Amino acid sequence: MPGTYDLDRQGLAELLDGEPGFRAAQVWEGLYRRGERPAEMTTLPLALRDRLEEELGAQLDEAHRRTADDGATIKWLFSLAGGAQIETVLMAYRDRVTVCVSTQAGCAMNCQFCATGQAGFTRQLSTGEILEQVMVARRAAEPRRLSNVVFMGMGEPLYNLENVMSAVDAMADGDGLSVSKRRITVSTSGVVPQIERLGAECGPMLAISLHAVRDELRDELVPLNKKYPIKELLQACRGYPGASNARRITFEYVMLKGANDSPAEARELVRLLKGVPAKINLIPFNPWPGAPYECSDWETIERFSDIVFNAGYASPVRTPRGRDILAACGQLKSETEKLRARARLAAG
């Protein structure tokens, strides 16, 4: 059975076959514009409300919810049908309200610095499971309006491309959430052939998890690099439909002490990105129990950032939000038993 947010307009129309023609649009707006559950759609006949509540059930079961000390970051742990768990984070800033969504339970990419990667892949999320994260966060953000969505939770979005694109299209729908595609960012570890499809068929903003400037090191940090090396990745970025100086591609670079944080690497980064409309986002590494890396020293990050800045890039160092609740990137679900067990092993 589909979940509340699994059906597109066409699917809703089919489900409501036999009802008056305006119903599908009415339900769509109830779901996405007003953020109602079917049971709350008081403009629908009671019998229909009951039927929809039954046939379009919720798919996320809140297993845990924590608010960070800053009060503006909320992290959820949701259980899905079948038992897998995912995380979603809401971040309220002064000028925007951003939700960070997961696209897979776990991740198969096995990046060495990422807690999710170390825990392995469980399963794909459906379109509805991706959208429900946004709808739950939207509700929690009220009275503020959700303004941005980032696909930076668990999973490699481009290995769940169809569902990710349907979810982006639903978020951008003008009769619903109306989050412009310029405010929706899909982050990928570099699935080259899917980058072009994402751009051509859907067109959200793109973020690339680069993290290294040499293939030898990137092969280690982001093993997908062995399949799609840096040169091919940057070629795909140069061709990303819609990329321009007004719509730059974000390059994420996690700062790992002694591994990728030298001034020479900063200069090489600048050289590599020549000709790509780029923004650079330096991310202090968020440690997790048993992690094989440490975060670079603050002075090292500043030196790196200065080189990038002097080359003409604004290089904001991403401030870790919600560190106290392990909600910062890559820490998603790092409190699981498995990782605790790994930490115990590492501690010897």
Comparison of 31 and 89: residue with beta carbon closer to ligand SAH:
89
Tokens standing for residue 10: 């066409």
Q: In this structure, what token pair is assigned to residue 228?
A: 């799609």
Instruction: Select from 180, 110, 121 the least CA-distant residue to 147.
Output: 180
Nearer to ligand SAH, 194 or 331 (CB): 331
329 classed as catalytic: yes
107 binds ligand SF4, rule: CB under 6 A: yes
For 297, the token pair is 């020293």
With beta carbons less than 8 A apart as the criterion, state whether 332 and 107 touch: no
Kindly report the number of other CB atoms within 10 A of residue 293's CB atom. Answer: 18
Contact partner, 122, from ligand SF4, ligand SAH, none, Cβ < 5-8 Å per class:
none
Which CB atom, from 7 or from 339, has the smaller least distance to ligand SAH? 339
Distances 196 to 3, 193, 247 between C-alpha atoms, Å: 29, 6, 16
Q: Indicate the Cα dihedral angle 272, 273, 274, 277, nearest 10°.
A: 170
- Total residues binding ligand SF4 (CB under 6 A): 12
Nearer to ligand SAH, 44 or 291 (CB): 291
Task: Please check whether residue 108 is in contact with residue 126, taking contact to mean a CB–CB distance below 8 angstroms.
Answer: no
Residue 155 to residue 165: CA distance in whole angstroms: 15
Does 289 bind ligand SAH (CB under 6 A)? Our answer is no
- Of 33, 78, 41, which is closest to residue 59 (Cα–Cα)? 78
By CB under 6 A, tell whether 194 contacts ligand SAH. no
Name which of residues 91 to 120 contact ligand SAH (CB under 6 A).
107, 111, 113-114
Q: How many residues bind to ligand SAH according to rule CB under 6 A?
A: 20
- Does 156 bind ligand SF4 (CB under 6 A)? Our answer is yes
| Among residues 4, 73, 103, 189, the one that binds ligand SF4 under rule CB under 6 A | 189
Give the interface with ligand SAH as residue ranges (CB under 6 A): 107, 111, 113-114, 152, 155-156, 187-189, 209, 252, 254, 283, 285-286, 288, 329-331
Catalytic residues: 87, 329
